[in-house]
Amino acid sequence: MRSDAFADYVEAVFRDQNRVATELAFALEDADDTDRLDALERAEEALLAACADLNAVASARRDGERMGPLRRLSAARQAPDCERAAADARAVLDD
């Protein structure tokens, strides 16, 4: 993760998935039909699973915990999966 461009990309993905997760939370509160609720829940679960490692890195950094470079690199490599899950969730939100 030495490339500044890659680090910027990972941070942008992290921030985007946080925005989408927040939108999902509000949409789940407002969902008034079972099909919509199910779709939103599936999207949220997929987003959380795909972005779990990025969130773990951010939490460790926030809490001042050290995380090994291989663990950080592994999490960063999952950024494209997190990005796709955020885009998929956004599509569900837009339906």
Query: In b/e form, how buried is each residue of 70-87, taking b as 16+ CB within 10 angstroms?
Result: eebeebbebbebbbebbe
How much is the pLDDT for 17? 96
How much is the pLDDT for 2? 62
Taking the C-alpha atoms of residue 28 and residue 24, their distance in angstroms, rounded to an integer, is 6
pLDDT in tens, 45-75: 999 999 998 888 888 888 888 877 777 778 8
Taking the C-alpha atoms of residue 71 and residue 59, their distance in angstroms, rounded to an integer, is 13
Taking the C-alpha atoms of residue 29 and residue 62, their distance in angstroms, rounded to an integer, is 28
Element (H, E) at 20: helix 4-30
Structure tokens at 3: 């490339």
Q: Could you state, in order of their start, the residue ranges of all structural domains in the chain?
A: 4-94
pLDDT in tens, 74-94: 888 899 999 999 999 999 999
